[in-house]
Amino acid sequence: MTRDQALEIVKKYTTKEITYRHLISVEGVMRALARHFGEDEDTWGFAGLWHDLDYDHTADDFDRHTHLTIEWLRAEGMDDDKILNAILAHKYPDHRHSLIDTAIVHADAVAGLIVAAALVRPEKAAGMKVSSVKKKLKEKSFAPGVEREEIRNVEESLGIPLDEFLAIAIAGVQDMAPEIQLV
């Protein structure tokens, strides 16, 4: 599957701009992490891109969250177990077996923080620094929905020091910035 085809699936199943932006931003972070680890970029990127695909349809029925996504993706002909399991893994700890399954949890959280931080800057994601994202991480009232622990514990979980992880994640979101109006 090409990235264009993967994006078509996102456009087909998401209804809210905020969900679309979240998915693309997590894709960007996952691609950057895949490069860091020498893993397959599309596999990691697509897992990030689709992880909350059903969000606009399951917000009031959270038990179906991720399961509906898997159903849709299979119907679209996507049967890569690595991708499908990583999508389940971002919700269910029982599914976290390999690096991609853990990485997606951290990518999800950090992309949320970086996008929120970019939205309050006039220059959006451009020129964003690790230090300013760290400041937002400490500011609990800022973007309170972000699971901060899943950012702070990244070193013990993925073996990447926090500052380096934030730099990788910022670069990943910046790569996607033109697609999600963050430039």
Site for Fe ion in 72-111 (CB under 5 A): 108
Question: Residue 19 CB, nearest distance to Fe ion (Å)?
Answer: 9
Residue 160 gets which letter from DSSP? -
Question: Residue 65 CB, nearest distance to Fe ion (Å)?
Answer: 10
By CB under 5 A, tell whether 27 contacts Fe ion: no
Question: Residue 51 CB, nearest distance to Fe ion (Å)?
Answer: 5
Give whichever of 101 and 108 is closer to Fe ion, judged by the CB atom. Answer: 108
- 76 burial type by CB count under 10 A (0-12 exposed, 13-18 middle, 19+ buried): middle
Reference 52, options 32, 37, 73; nearest CA is 73
By CB under 5 A, tell whether 52 contacts Fe ion: yes
Q: Which stretch binds Fe ion (CB under 5 A): 47-55, 67-75, 141-149, 158-166?
A: 47-55
C-alpha 74/C-alpha 106 separation (Å) is: 25
Q: Which stretch binds Fe ion (CB under 5 A): 4-12, 48-56, 132-140, 167-175?
A: 48-56
Q: Considering Cα of 72, then 74, then 77, then 80, what sign does the dihedral take?
A: positive
Reference 130, options 177, 174, 173, 170; nearest CA is 170
Binding site for Fe ion (CB under 5 A): 52, 108
